[in-house]
Amino acid sequence: MDCMDCHNRATHIFSSPDALIDEAMVQGRIDKTLPFIKREGLSALNPPAANLEQAGARIDKIRDFYRSSYPKVYQEKGTAIDKAIAELKDIARLTTFPDMRVTWKSYFDNAGHTESPGCFRCHGKLVAKAGGEKGKTIVAECNSCHYLQLPQVSKGAG
């Protein structure tokens, strides 16, 4: 067994609405200054809808949320709300597959530990059965995979 047994993602990656909304907010496709936009988007997308029409109907209700709960935001940022709704509908297309009977929860990306136990499924539990490491547990320390790189300090000729 080697790293590729767990870390190879040769198939389609099914990202979660949580990760896709974060990405859209970071890239400016969803205005992160809209109050509770992530919460409302996640509520519309999770649990997965039975079909895209249902997902779209849930997402459209976000407009009503702003109209009733944040009328000033609704008036001032109507275009941003419409843009967020359009982006959330795109995210629904990436997370709603009723005909295939799969969701982002069907095939976890075990290369990390944000949506699943990830590395901790095995690290800290498996024991080497042969070789120089026989009987030792695979370490579960963060720095086994994550490296903290400190910036290089240049010493000026001074």
Nearest Cα to 91, choosing from 32, 17, 31, 34?
A: 17
In the three-class reduction of DSSP (H, G, I as helix; E, B as strand; rest coil), residue 27 is classed as: coil
Judge if 127 and 91 occupy the same domain.
no
Instruction: Return the axis-axis angle of helices 37-45 and 52-69, rounded to nearest 10°.
Output: 150
Q: Tokens 């109050």: give the residue.
A: 35
Q: How many structural domains does the chain have?
A: 2
Judge if 63 and 23 occupy the same domain.
yes
Judge if 78 and 139 occupy the same domain.
no
Both tokens of 74, joined, read 């609704």
Identify whether 110 is part of a domain: no
Judge if 28 and 74 occupy the same domain.
yes
What range defines the domain where residue 90 resides? 17-95
Residue with the bigger pLDDT between 109 and 69: it is 69
Residue 11 DSSP code: S
Judge if 21 and 73 occupy the same domain.
yes
Judge if 84 and 48 occupy the same domain.
yes
* Percent of the chain scoring above 70 in pLDDT: 70
Judge if 81 and 129 occupy the same domain.
no
Summarize pLDDT for 18-40 with one digit per residue, the tens.
Answer: 999 999 999 999 999 999 999 99
Judge if 70 and 131 occupy the same domain.
no
Judge if 40 and 91 occupy the same domain.
yes
Identify whether 38 is part of a domain: yes
Judge if 91 and 136 occupy the same domain.
no
Q: What is the pLDDT of residue 158?
A: 47
Identify whether 142 is part of a domain: yes
Identify whether 60 is part of a domain: yes
Identify whether 78 is part of a domain: yes
Is the pLDDT score of 147 beyond 70?
A: no
Summarize pLDDT for 125-139 with one digit per residue, the tens.
Answer: 777 777 887 888 777
Torsion region of 28: left, alpha or beta (phi above 0 gives left; psi -120 to 50 gives alpha): left
Identify whether 51 is part of a domain: yes
